[in-house]
Amino acid sequence: MNKSILAAASCLLLTGALAYSGAPGMSVLSALGDAVSTMSEKFDHAAAASTMSERDRHAVAPSAELANKSAHATLPIHDMQAAAWSKPYHFGFKKSKNGVLPSIAEEGFQPLMEKHGAVFLGDTAMKELYLTFDNGYEKDGLTGKILDVLKEKQVPAIFFITGHYVKTEPELVKRMTTEGHLVGNHSWSHPDMSTLPQEKVKQELADVKKAVADLTGVQKMDYLRPPRGIFSDSMLAASAAEGYRNIFWSIAYRDWDTSAQRGADYAYQNVTTQLHPGAVILLHAVSRDNAQALGRIIDEAHKQGYTFKSLDQMGKRTYR
Find the catalytic residue in 181, 186, 284, 289. Answer: 284
Q: Which residues of 279-314 are buried (b: 16+ CB within 10 A; e: fewer)?
A: bbbbbbbbbbbbbbbbbbbbeebeeeebebbebeeb
Answer yes or no: are the C-beta atoms of 275 and 136 closer than 8 Å. no
SS3 161: strand
Q: 52: which strand partners?
A: none
Could you tell me how many helices (H) and strands (E) the chain has, helices first? 12, 9
Q: 50-72: buried (b, 16+ CB within 10 Å) or exposed (e) per residue?
A: eeeeeeeeeeeeeeeeeeeeeee
| Candidate list 134, 233, 255, 289, residue with the active-site label | 134
CA torsion through residues 132, 136, 140, 144, sign = positive
The amino acid present at 102, given as its one-letter code, is P
Catalytic residue status for 134: yes
**Residue 45 designated active-site:** no
- 8 A C-beta contact, residue 127 and residue 305: yes
Taking the C-alpha atoms of residue 242 and residue 228, their distance in angstroms, rounded to an integer, is 20
User: Residues with catalytic annotation?
Assistant: 134, 284
